[in-house]
Amino acid sequence: MFMVSEGCTAVSIHRRDPTTDRHGGFDLLRSRPGPVHPSLGDLVVPSSLRSTISIPNLVRTPDRHRPLQPRTPELKRSASLSLPDGNLALFANQRYVFIIFARRITLKMQFMLLFSRQGKLRLQKWYVPLSDSQKKKISREVIQMVLARKPKMCSFLEWRDLKIVYKRYASLYFCCAVEDQENELITLEIIHRYVELLDKYFGSVCELDIIFNFEKAYYILDEFILGGEAQETSKKIVLKAIEQADMLQEEAEAPRSVLEEIGLT
């Protein structure tokens, strides 16, 4: 059995025996995962990107045989190589060679804005250096542009050399600007994950929670996104870090005696 780790985007499987060389690969990011080579048989990959692959299933169906070409000796242990856009790992034994390429999926965000239906800015986070006048001008322009769009219109639009991705939750608009080559769907997922974090922390979050607890909203965002890139996608880890920060704040604000202040107790 062979385990595909989470985040792996492509796997290439090579089977080697004394007379034949069977090869194939599949893509875990396809909308309907399945084999792309006859040698893989009826392979099904769950959408969770974490599955157990059975070697007999990979070679169950007949495929084209060809003489085994001379090649370098097989590796007895795994090897890995770091590439600019991902990591390449190789696992080999006397019969099989597994080549796994895990692609790094990153998203470079320029800024994020939260504003109401009335155009009131509730939260803003900038990941590029801009002056205050530039920020005000951009915020005003983006807010007017998004509010002017109809509900059934697409949530993506081109603006200057960037893409604006937005989504409305109740009375709040969550709006992000990303570079032109970035994936809009990933941006929507990041927005939704941030809303889930807010909802989990506040409990059915609303606009008033953002207004009166804006420092918590900023702190949650900083735990989730740093420098315009998503740093931690696990809700449990982010909320645990926020809970620890709340505990430290409560300890710091708790009344202490004079002896405790000078460290004698």
Q: Who wins on pLDDT, 4 or 213? A: 213
Q: Which structure tokens are listed for 121?
A: 């800015």
Q: What angle do CA 225, 184, 195 make, to 5 degrees?
A: 45
Query: What are 109-139's pLDDT values in tens digits?
Result: 999 999 999 999 999 999 999 999 999 999 9
pTM above 0.85, yes or no: no
Helices then strands, each counted (H, E), the chain = 7, 14
Distance between CA 191 and CA 170 in Å, rounded?
Answer: 14
Give the chain's largest Cα–Cα span. Answer: 85
Q: What angle do CA 201, 207, 211 make, to 5 degrees?
A: 85
Query: What are 74-101's pLDDT values in tens digits?
Result: 444 455 556 555 566 655 555 555 566 5
Domains and their CATH numbers in the chain: 2-103 (no CATH), 109-251 (3.30.450.60)
Is the pLDDT reported for residue 256 higher than 50?
Answer: yes
- At 137, phi and psi to the nearest 5? -65, -45
Distance between CA 136 and CA 170 in Å, rounded?
Answer: 24
149 band by pLDDT with thresholds 50, 70 and 90: very high
- Residue ranges in the chain assigned as alpha helix (H): 55-58, 132-147, 184-202, 207-212, 214-224, 235-253, 258-261
Identity (one letter) of the amino acid at 7?
G
Query: What are 198-207's pLDDT values in tens digits?
Result: 999 998 899 9
Bridge-based pairing state of the strands 225-226 and 21-27: unpaired
The per-residue DSSP string of 102-170 comes to: EE-----EEEEEEEETT--EEEEEE-S---HHHHHHHHHHHHHHHHTS-TTS-SEEEETTEEEEEEEET
Picking from 188, 167, 173, the residue whose alpha carbon sits closest to that of residue 120 is: 173
